Amino acid sequence: MTNNTSLVDVRGLRIGLDDGTELVKGIDFSMGHERVALVGESGSGKSLTARSLMGLLADSLVVEADHFQLLGHPVLSYRQSQWNRLRGQQVSMVLQDPKYALNPTQNIGRQVAEPLVLHQSMSSKARLEKVEYMLDAVGLANPAKLRKMYPHQLSGGMGQRVMLAIALINDPQLLIADEPTSALDHAVRDQVLALIHSLVEERNMGLLLISHDLQQVADYCERVMVMYQGILIDHLPAEALPNATHPYTQTLWSCRPNITKRGQPLPTLDRQHLETLK
Partner 1 sequence: MIISQTWRGLPLRQLFNTFNIGLLLVVLLVVLALLAPYISTFDPNVQNIQDRLLAPNAQHWFGTDRFGRDLFSRVLHGARPTLLLVSLVILLTVPIGLTVGICAGYFGGWVERILMRLTDIVMSLPSLVIALALVSILGPGLMNGALALAFTSWPSFARQARTETLSIRRSDYLTAAKMQGVSGWRLIFGHILPLILPSAIVRAALNLGGIILSAAGLGFLGMGIQPPAAEWGSMVASGSRVIFDQWWVAAVPGVAILLASLAFNLLGDGLRDKMDPRHDK
Partner 2 sequence: MNQLEVNNVSVSHAQGLQRNTVVHNVDLSVQAGECFGLVGPSGCGKSSLLWVLAGLNPYWEGDISLFGQPLESGKVFTGELRRRVQMVFQDPYASLHPKHRLRRTLAEPLKLLGLQDIDDRLSEGFKQVGLAENMIDRYPHQLSGGQRQRVAIIRALLLEPKLLLLDEPTSALDMSVQAEILNLLNDLKASRDLTMIMVSHDPDVIDYMCDHAVTMKAGRIDQEKYYR
Decide which of partner 1, partner 2, none touches 141; Cβ closer than 5 to 8 Å per partner kind.
Answer: none
Among 67, 85, 256, 273, binds partner 2 (CB under 8 A): 256
Considering beta carbons, is residue 57 or 255 the nearer one to partner 1?
57
Interface pick for partner 2 out of 2, 258, 272, 276 (rule CB under 8 A): 258
41 touches partner 2 by CB under 8 A: yes
- C-alpha angle 215/219/221, rounded to 5°? 105
Q: Which of residues 56-75 bind partner 1 (CB under 8 A)?
A: 57, 59-67
Decide if 7 contacts 31 (C-beta within 8 A). Answer: yes
| Per-residue binding letters, 87-126, with partner 2 (x by CB under 8 A) | ----------------------------------------
Q: Between 16 and 55, how does the x/- string for binding to partner 1 read (CB under 8 A)?
A: ------------------------------------x--x
Measured CA distances, 11 to 16, 24, 68, 176, 238 (Å):
16, 12, 6, 19, 23
Instruction: State residue 55 phi and psi, 5-degree precision.
Output: 65, 30
The DSSP 8-state label assigned to residue 184 in this structure reads S
Residues, the chain = 278
- Residue number, 125 or 262, with CB nearest to partner 2: 262
Written as one string, the DSSP assignment of 217-247 is HHTT-SEEEEEETTEEEEEEEGGGGGG--SH
User: If binding is defined by CB under 8 A, does position 268 make contact with partner 2?
Assistant: yes
Quote the CA–CA distance of 53 and 92 in Å, as a whole number.
10
186 binds partner 2 (CB under 8 A): yes
**238 touches partner 2 (CB under 8 A):** no
For residues 40 and 227, is the Cβ–Cβ distance under 8 A?
A: yes
H/E segment holding residue 214: helix 214-218
Give the nearest distance from C-beta 200 to partner 2 in angstroms: 23
Exposure class string for 54-91: b at 16+ Cβ within 10 A, else e: bbebeeeeebebeebbbbebebbebeeeebeebbbbbb
Instruction: Report the residue from 110, 212, 223, 246 that binds partner 2 according to the rule CB under 8 A.
Output: 212
Q: In the complex, what is the shortest distance from the CB of residue 52 to partner 2, in angstroms, rounded to a whole number?
A: 21
Residue 220 neighbours by CB under 8 Å, 6+ apart: 35, 37, 193, 194, 196, 197, 209
Q: Does 266 bind partner 2 (CB under 8 A)?
A: yes
**Alpha carbon 91 to chain centroid, angstroms:** 11
Quote the CA–CA distance of 30 and 22 in Å, as a whole number. 21
CB of 87 to partner 1, least distance (A): 14
58 lies in the site for partner 2, by CB under 8 A? no
Closer residue to partner 2 in complex, CB, 8/101: 101
* Smaller CB separation from partner 1, 59 or 275: 59
Q: Assess 86 for contact with partner 1 (CB under 8 A).
A: no
Which residues contribute to the site for partner 2 (CB under 8 A)?
Answer: 41-43, 156, 185-188, 212-215, 251-252, 255-259, 261-262, 265-269
Which residues contribute to the site for partner 1 (CB under 8 A)?
Answer: 52, 55, 57, 59-67, 76-77
